[in-house]
Amino acid sequence: MNLYAKSAVLTDADTGRILYGKDAGTPMANASTTKIMTCLLAIESGKIQDTVTFSEHACSMPKVRLGCPTGTQFVLEDLLYSLMLESHNDTAAAIAEHVAGSVEAFADLMNERAAEFGCQNTHFVTPNGLDRSDKKGEHQTTAYDLSLIMAACIQNDKFLEITETASKTISSIDGTFQAALNNHNALLSMLDGVISGKTGFTAKAGYCYVGAYRQNDRTYTFALLACGWPNHKNYKWEDSKALISYGNDHYENRTILKEEEHQTIDLNRTMVKTFGKNHYYFTNTLSVTKEACAFQILVSENDEITMNPQGQKELSFPVTEGDVVATEEILWNGLPVQTRRILADETLFASDYPWCLWEILLKWKF
C-alpha cells in the first residue's frame, strides 16, 4: 500500500497481532490521539460523577479549548465528551488534575497503564498530547502501541458510548457556561463498521488518527502517525479506509478445530523425580490425551498454523491419571496463539530401586 502516513499499523484487536505495519514500532509524536488513554483512565477512576473545577493551569492550555473561566465546575462525565468530541486541551488538564492531583501524577498513571497493555515504546508526558518532554524523554508512542491502547479502550462500554456520540451540549454545574460539542471523527459516518476513533494534530506530529473497526466477526484497531500536514487533513481518512480494506481483502476469520488426540510420550531421557531425588527413566512410555480445542483467528492464505509440543522438563512420579504432563502450543506463523493441555491417561510409578525393593517385599509378604 502507498500510505501517506509515515507510520501505520492494522492490528487484530483480539490478539494484538499486526496484520499490516509500516514503521509501526517507531516512536513518534502522537498529538491528541493521547486522549484515548486520558478518557479511559478517567472512566476507570470511578470518579465520573465527581465535580471537576478548572484550575488556572488547566485554563492556560493552548487551543483547542473549552474556554471556560478559572473556577468553572463541571460533572466529570460531561467533560469526557468535551475531551473526545472536540479534543479540548484545557479539559484534558482539568480531568488529569482531578483524577490524580496533578498533570505529572496523571502522566505516571498513563505510563503504568500503557505498560500493562504491553506498550514497550510509549512515554506520556501530557494528558492532551501537546508536545512536551520530561527527564525520561519526549511525549511519544508508536502506531502499534497506540493500537494496543485502543484495543483496551473499546472493551469499555462507556468509552464506546462517548466516542460514538455525534453531538452533545454540556453545561457547567451552575448553568452559567454551555458548550455545543460535535464529534470530529468523520470516519464514523464515512464507513460502516467504524466504532471509535480519535484525531490529533500538532505541528510536530502532523495529522494523526487511531480508530477501531468491528464487522463480520472481526475487530481491527489501527493507527496513523505523521499522516500529512496542512493542507492535507483528509489523508488520514484515505489511509484509514485503505487499512480496513486491506484487512478485509486479505484476512478471514477462520475457526481452527483441533480434535482430541491420543498418543504416547516416550519417557526415555526424561528427568523424573522420586523420593526427593532425580532419576533418569529409560524404559516406559506414558499414554496421554491431547485435549480438544477450538478457537477463531484472522488468517490469510499465506499464514501457517503449526503445533509445538512442550514437554515438561521434569516429571514427579507417580504420575496420576488426569495429570497435566505437557502442553502443546498452536502457532500462527511461529507465534503462539493458543495452548492446549496434554493429560496422562494412566497412573504410572517409577521403576527405580525403592520401587523394586517394595515390590519384592510385597511379593514375599515381608
Question: Kind and range of the H or E element at 90?
Answer: helix 89-100
| Domain spanning 7-250: CATH superfamily | DD-peptidase/beta-lactamase superfamily (3.40.710.10)
Annotated binding residue 6: no
All three cell numbers of 59, joined, read 485554563
Catalytic residue of the set 87, 172, 196, 240: 87
- Decide if 32 is catalytic: yes
- Residue 35: active-site member: yes
Stated as kind and residue range, the H or E segment containing 178 is strand 178-182
**Which of 22, 35, 236, 290 is flagged as catalytic?**
35
Rounded to 5 degrees, φ, ψ at 282 are: -110, -5
The secondary structure element, H or E, covering residue 190 is: helix 187-190
- Same CATH fold, 255-364 and 7-250? no
Handedness of CA 363, 364, 365, 366 (dihedral sign): negative
Q: What pLDDT shows up at residue 282?
A: 43
Contact 78, 88 (CB under 8 A): no
Angle CA(156)–CA(161)–CA(167) in degrees, nearest 5? 150
Q: Where in the chain are the domains?
A: 7-250, 255-364
**Is 290 annotated in the active site?**
no
Q: How far apart are the first and last CA of the chain?
A: 81
The pLDDT profile of the chain, 366 residues, written as one tens digit per residue, is: 899 999 999 999 998 999 999 999 999 999 999 999 999 999 999 999 999 999 999 999 999 999 999 999 999 999 999 999 999 999 999 999 999 999 999 999 999 999 999 999 999 999 999 999 999 999 999 999 999 999 999 999 999 999 999 999 999 999 999 999 999 999 999 999 999 999 999 999 999 999 999 998 899 999 999 999 999 999 999 999 999 999 999 999 888 888 999 988 776 555 555 555 544 444 567 888 999 999 888 899 889 989 888 766 667 777 889 999 889 999 988 888 889 999 999 887 766 666 566 667 777 765
Fold of 255-364: Peptidoglycan synthesis regulatory factor (PBP3), Domain 2 (2.60.410)
Is 362 exposed, middle or buried, given 0-12, 13-18 or 19+ CB atoms closer than 10 A? exposed
Q: How far apart are CA 74 and CA 175, in angstroms?
A: 9
Q: DSSP E strands: which ranges in 217-276?
A: 218-225, 252-258, 261-266, 270-274
pLDDT value for 35: 98
